[in-house]
Structures are given as structure tokens and as C-alpha cells.
Amino acid sequence: MRIELQKRAQVSTLFSMLSPLLALVLTLFFGGIMFWMLGKDPLDALYSFFVEPLLEVWSLHELAIKAAPLILIAVGLSVCFRSNNWNIGAEGQFTIGAITGSILPVLYPEWHSPMILPLMLIMGMIGGGLYAGIPALLKTRFNTNEILTSLMLVYIAQLYLDWLTRGPWRDPQGYNFPQTKAFVPEAVLPEILDSGRAHLAIVFALVAAVVIWFMMRFMMKGFQVSVLGQSERAGRFAGFSARRMVWFSMLLSGAFAGLAGISEVSGSIGHLQPAISPGYGFTAIIVAFLGRLNPLGIIASGFVLALTYLGGEAAQLSIGISDKVSRVFQGLLLFFVLSCDTLIHYRIRLVRNQTAGGAHA
Amino acid sequence: MLEAILLTVITAATPLVIASLGELVTERSGVLNLGVEGMMIMGAVIAFAATQATGSPYLGVVAGIVAGAVFSLLFGFLTLTLVANQVATGLALTILGLGLSGQIGESFVGQPGIKLQPIAIPLLSDIPFVGSLLFRQDLIFYLSIALVVGIHWFLFRSRTGLKMRAIGDNHASAHALGINVIRTRYLAVMFGGACAGLAGAQLSLVYTPQWVENMTGGRGWIALALVVFASWRPIRVLAGGYLFGAVTIGQLHAQALGIGIPSQFLSALPYAATIVVLIIISHNRRTTLINTPASLGKPFVPER
């Protein structure tokens, strides 16, 4: 027996809709097996992981808080990935955005003005964008692989934040905790509803998704992204510049990640500290693929992945499984998404081997 | 003093050398596996677990190798059989590996490990300085040197190695010549996984004999960069690995001496060095193009 792929004459619309769902079902199935191996009742565990967090108003707010950075970053990444630029350093751009966005409230804590919040957001976007500009510059100027450089910059950004919050930016009245002064109320992202903590970040995320969806669907720029991503050669014939696309996609995704960073710090944390993200920048890669690199799909997948974070916390409390399970779920999900995507372009057939010897897996 | 420093450089360099060598073979066959970090951390945790369970670090080494190879099969199945995107699948492997290892290793946190003991080679180990540096080492160090020589011989002196390079440079032609592209690539991917697993075992059995979550700390990624740095040549991997080992150890010593530079900046040095090295190596577009396996990262579906 072996597996053989047969190229479909055209992309299967059925499977482009079905493949993310199929991946979800498979993840749940294997997740259940994992819980069973950990000695828990699988249905019980899955219930407390994926359903319980949806039953309370406060945890719905938490869901929105966690979905916001995921969606925002993933929307930017979708443009990168579609144009074949592999920015995997969003976590670093998120961190730098959080830092540059925090300059005003940390260094000028006496400044109370309605101007401060918009300025913070803009500075966060600029910081994240510029940080993503480094791999873009290196790729266009020195032909350096952006995957490796953007990833290395994540470690550097995190160490820089660590130094800032333990060193020059540490709150002198903070009992030696490695964190900055709490932001003034004017510098805190306002909540959107009276019923809970969810703040404006989720609105930014949804707006960004719709804008980028519009761009990809109806604007010349979006067309350039797809053409250059599928074939740089074809793009060149059409007069599109691959070099400028590197800059565009990297700066855009960096700015979105930076906005996510400062929004998270300003809206959810309220000060800067060494650890500000449970890996949003990396999880957003999964969000982007689960959403099939389509901004509207990313909205849905952002909430799904946010649920894995919440579910991890919930399951830890209610059935005593470690919250590391969430990361396993996220990894499994990406695997299944990628394998199910094969169904979109290929028909899979199991072939019984007639000739011995020529078999391969 | 110098001897002690050089010994730590060797210990820091060995996992980088081994993981890069594995990835080098994988990439020579035309497959880009970005999951080195994930396979490495799986090797580290399984090696630690097997050592705790059996009391023998040697069984731990074997378990680490097997874990890396088995884990890499996931990548192989997706990218070779299902022709999924190699970049994305490699990332998935890393994300899953980091998660799974954290889950598996949860009960090992804080437990003292068992260190793989050095083996003194008779006579040679009595040579002053060099003897204790190179011939009073653990098994994994000897393996790393054997791998450099062995892989160099395999790629450039053996028939199978030639076939493998042919696949990496043009899989369609290789297929037309009757070489089994998919099978060779499966083997190359598994070899890469086994090496990453061995490198992980070195971390949890030699470098710091204990289990710490995320203990690979980006070494898998540095190993990937080293392959580019070495322009896909095993002997240059050795040189690059030791360069990075020296940077890592150098910054640790600088931290210990307290030379007035914040420790975070020194810790960032190996990552910054990776970027600098990549710039130096990649800036000449033509040499990069000549050295890179031409089919690297491209999907292959056999036509009949």
C-alpha cells in the first residue's frame, strides 16, 4: 500500500472550506487520545478545555483579549506568507512595539493628555515596523534569509526588554520587581463594554482584518502580493517589484505586530515587564495558516487559538492538567491544517503495490 | 584556565556541529527542515527520560537519537508524501516539539540528571594538553568528529552521496534517471532528525545534565544558520560550530567577570553573531546560488 497524489484539474472549493474544519476535528480527536493517555476522561477534559471557557461572560472577555493580538499579527503575516516572505519574528516585533509604544508613559509619567494614547499606538506601530525592517533590509540588500534573521531578532528583542525592565526603566518604588511604573489612566487602552475587561485591541484587529481583506480582494496591491508570491518571474513580467514587496509585507506585518504589542501592554498589563506575551507571535503563524491566509478566515481561527490558551488555563484549574497542553494542541492543529490542505490541490489515493521492491512510503 | 575554557567551548560547540551536520544532509537532498529546534528538544527530553528510567546515559543517547528520527518522520510524511509546504511544516514541528517536550518533561523539572562520563582513549589521552582536551571526552564528542569525516566522505566520495546531491540539485532529472527521490529524501530527513536528537541528548546529558523547559534556547535555529554559513560543506560546519561555541562561552565568561556590560547584551551576542555571519555569507548572490542545493525547499510530485 502506498499513498499517491493526483493533481486536481482545479483547486477544490469544497476542500478549501472543509480542510480547516477537518483539521479541527482531527486535533480534537488526537487531543482526546492524549487526555486519555494522561489518565483523564477524554470527553470531560475536552469539555473543560473547549466549552467551559465559552460559558461565562468574563471568560468571553478574556477570549477577545487573547484573540486580538493573534488576529492582528496573523493578518499581517498572511500578507507576508502570501507574497512568499517568511517573517517568523513577529514575537520580536511585538516586543519592540510594546517597548517603543511605552516610551511616553514610562519616561513622562506626569504627562496627562488625551494625546498620549494615539501617540503610543503610532509609536508602537513604527517600532514594530522598523524592527521588521531589519530582516527586510538584510534580505533586499544582502540577500540574507529572512526566516533566520527575523527569528534571531526575537531573542534579541526579548533580552532588550528584559534589560530595560530590570535596569533603566525599572520603577524605583516597585519593591525591586522588574517592571516599570504603572501607566497613567490616559495611557491605558479603554474597555469596550461595561461587562468586562475586553479592550479596544479586538476592534483594531477586526478593522485590520477587514481592511487587509479588502486590499487583497479589490486592490492592485493585493493582486501584486498574490502574483509575486506564486511566481516572482510572472510578477517581474507584470512590472511588479519583488524587492518593494519584501519591504511592504515586512513593514506591514511588523507594524501590526507592534500595534498588538503596545495594545497588549497598555490594555491588558498596564505596565512593561520582562514577559509580556505567551508566544502570541508564534501562535499567530498557526492562526494565519488555519485561516487559510485569508483575513476573514483569520478572524475565526484567531478565536479558536485564543480558546486553546483559555482552555489550557481552565483545564489546569478544573481537571489538573498542565497548561502546556495548549501548546501541544496548537502544534497538532498546525500539523493537521497543513496535511488537510493537501486535499485542496490533490486527490489522495491509496494504491496497492503490485511490483515489489519499488515501494516507498 | 585556558584548558578549562577550551573544554567548555568544545562542549558548547558539539550540539551545534551535530545538529547542523544532520540538517546539512537533509538540505543536500533538497529538503529544508526548519524543525531542527523541535527535534532537538524532543531528543533532549526523551534522552533525559530514558536515562532516568534506566539509569544508563548511553541508553539515553540511543533514545534521543530514535526520538529525533521518529519525530522527523512526521515532517517527512507531510512534506514528502503529502507535499505540504516545507517552511510551514518545519515551523509546525518546532512548535509541536517545544509543546510536547514541555508536557513530557514536566515531572523532570528540578531533578538531578546523570551525566555522560568521559572516556579516556588509551595512550592518546596521556599527551599533555591536547590529550585531555580531545581524547578524554564523552562519546557524543567522538561521534561529532566521526560524523564530520563520515558525512564528508559520504557526500563527496560515495555513489549514494552523489545520487543524493543529484536529487538536491535537480529532483526531476534524478527521478528520470531512476533514482528514488522520495525514499532518499525520507532517509535524509530521518538522518537529520537523528542528528538533531543526538544534539538534544548532548544538551540534557552533557552540557547541563538536567531537564529545563526550552533548554535548546534557539540552538536549533543557529544550527540552521550554520548550514548556510558552511555553504553546505561538513568541514566548514565544524569550523562554524566551534566559532559559535567560542562566542557562547566567551560571553558567559565576560558575564562572570562582570566587565560592566549588562548580561542581557552579552547573552544576545550569539544571536547577533548569527545575523552578522549570515550577512557576510549571503551578500555575494552568485556564490550563494552556486552552493545552495538548487531544489532546496521545492515540492516534488513524481510524474509517471
Residue B275 lies in a domain: yes
With cut-offs at 50, 70 and 90, classify the pLDDT of residue A353. low
Q: Check CB contact under 8 Å for B88 and A143.
A: no
Ramachandran bin of B217, using left for φ above 0, alpha for ψ from -120 to 50, beta for the remaining angles: left
Query: The domain spanning residue B67 has which CATH number?
Result: 1.10.3470
* Closest chain A residue to B107, measured at CA: A322
Please name which of B229, B238, B209 lies closest in space to residue B151, comparing C-alpha atoms: B238
pLDDT at residue A357 above 60?
Answer: no
A358 touches chain B (CB under 8 A): yes
Condensed to tens digits (0 to 9), the pLDDT of residues A73-97 reads 999 999 999 999 999 999 999 999 9
Residue B298 lies in a domain: no
Q: How far is B78 from chain A (nearest CA, A)?
A: 6
Q: In chain A, which residues have their Cβ closer than 8 Å to the Cβ of B255?
A: none
Residue B153 lies in a domain: yes
Q: How many CB atoms lie within 10 A of CB A115?
A: 11
Segment A318-322 long-range contacts (CB within 8 Å, at least 24 positions apart)? A318/A48, A318/A52, A319/A40, A319/A44, A319/A45, A319/A48, A321/A35, A321/A38, A321/A40, A321/A45, A322/B102, A322/B103, A322/B106
For A131, A140, B243, the CA distances from B283, given in Å and listed in that order, are: 20, 10, 20
pLDDT at residue A356 above 50?
Answer: no
Q: In chain A, which residues have their Cβ closer than 8 Å to the Cβ of B100?
A: 327-328, 331
Q: In chain B, which residues have their Cβ closer than 8 Å to the Cβ of A330?
A: 95, 99
Determine the structural domain holding residue B220 and report its residue range.
2-291
pLDDT-wise least confident of A147-156, A344-353, B101-110: A344-353
Q: Which of A95-99, A223-227, B5-9 has the highest mean pLDDT?
A: A95-99
pLDDT at residue B17 above 70?
Answer: yes
pLDDT at residue A218 above 50?
Answer: yes
Q: In chain A, which residues have their Cβ closer than 8 Å to the Cβ of B89?
A: 335, 338
pLDDT-above-90 percentage for chain B: 65
A138 touches chain B (CB under 8 A): yes
Task: Select the more confidently predicted residue: A127 or A11.
Answer: A127
Helices (H), chain B: 2-28, 36-54, 57-76, 86-104, 130-134, 139-157, 159-169, 171-176, 181-202, 219-229, 234-257, 263-267, 269-282, 285-291
A35 touches chain B (CB under 8 A): no
A353 touches chain B (CB under 8 A): no
Residue B135 lies in a domain: yes
Q: What is the mean pLDDT of residues A67-71?
A: 96
Of the candidates B88, B182, B275, the beta carbon closest to that of A360 is on: B182
pTM: 0.90
pLDDT at residue B238 above 90?
Answer: yes
Please give the span between the terminal C-alpha atoms of chain A, in angstroms, as a whole number: 8
pLDDT of residue B304: 58
pLDDT at residue A359 above 70?
Answer: no
Q: Check CB contact under 8 Å for A147 and B95.
A: no
Q: Check CB contact under 8 Å for B221 and A152.
A: yes
Angle ∠(B293,B298,B299) on CA atoms, nearest 5: 140
Q: How far apart are CA A227 and CA B211, in angstroms?
A: 47
Q: In chain A, which residues have their Cβ closer than 8 Å to the Cβ of B88?
A: 81, 285, 289, 334, 338
Q: How far apart are CA A28 and CA A43, in angstroms?
A: 10
| Domains in chain A with CATH codes | 2-351 (1.10.3470)
**DSSP string for B190-211:** HHHHHHHHHHHHHIIIIIS-S-
Q: How far is B147 from chain A (nearest CA, A)?
A: 25
* Closest chain B residue to A151, measured at CA: B221
**A315: which 3 cell numbers?**
483545564
Q: In this prediction, does ipTM exceed 0.90? A: no
Interface-testing mutation among B190, B264, B265, with chain A (most A C-beta atoms within 10 A)? B264
pLDDT at residue A361 above 60?
Answer: no
Mean pLDDT of chain B: 91
Q: How far apart are CA B26 and CA B89, in angstroms?
A: 15
pLDDT at residue A172 above 60?
Answer: yes
Q: Check CB contact under 8 Å for A328 and B99.
A: yes
Q: In chain A, which residues have their Cβ closer than 8 Å to the Cβ of B218?
A: 151-152, 155
For A62, A74, A197, A303, the CA distances from A311, given in Å and listed in that order, are: 11, 20, 18, 12
Residue B185 lies in a domain: yes
Angle ∠(A28,A33,A34) on CA atoms, nearest 5: 95
Number of structural domains (chain B) is 1
Q: In chain B, which residues have their Cβ closer than 8 Å to the Cβ of A322?
A: 102-103, 106
Q: How far is B82 from chain A (nearest CA, A)?
A: 6
* Closest chain A residue to B269, measured at CA: A156
Residue B223 lies in a domain: yes
Q: What is the mean pLDDT of residues A130-143?
A: 95
Residue B210 lies in a domain: yes
pLDDT of residue B19: 97
Please say whether the beta carbons of B216 and B201 come within 8 A.
no
Residue B303 lies in a domain: no
Q: Check CB contact under 8 Å for A142 and B282.
A: yes
Q: Check CB contact under 8 Å for B278 and A160.
A: no
Of the candidates B272, B282, B301, the beta carbon closest to that of A143 is on: B282
Q: How far apart are CA A277 and CA A271, in angstroms?
A: 13
pLDDT at residue A316 above 90?
Answer: no
Please name which of B223, B248, B222, B214 lies closest in space to residue B41, comparing C-alpha atoms: B214
Q: What is the mean pLDDT of residues B84-91?
A: 90
pLDDT at residue A136 above 80?
Answer: yes
Please name which of B71, B67, B76, B39 lies closest in space to residue B187, comparing C-alpha atoms: B76
**B122: which 3 cell numbers?**
588509551
**A164: which 3 cell numbers?**
530595560
With cut-offs at 50, 70 and 90, classify the pLDDT of residue B97. very high
Q: What is the mean pLDDT of residues A99-122?
A: 93
* Closest chain A residue to B102, measured at CA: A324
Please name which of A120, A182, A123, A131 lies closest in space to residue A160, comparing C-alpha atoms: A131
Q: Which of A27-31, A288-292, B193-197 has the highest mean pLDDT?
A: B193-197
Mean pLDDT of chain A: 89
pLDDT at residue B207 above 90?
Answer: yes
With cut-offs at 50, 70 and 90, classify the pLDDT of residue A35. confident
pLDDT of residue B79: 93
**A180: which 3 cell numbers?**
516599570
**A301: which 3 cell numbers?**
481561527
A74 touches chain B (CB under 8 A): no
Q: Check CB contact under 8 Å for B84 and A342.
A: yes
Contacts of residue B159, defined as CB under 8 A and 6 or more positions apart, other chains included, come to none
pLDDT of residue B20: 97
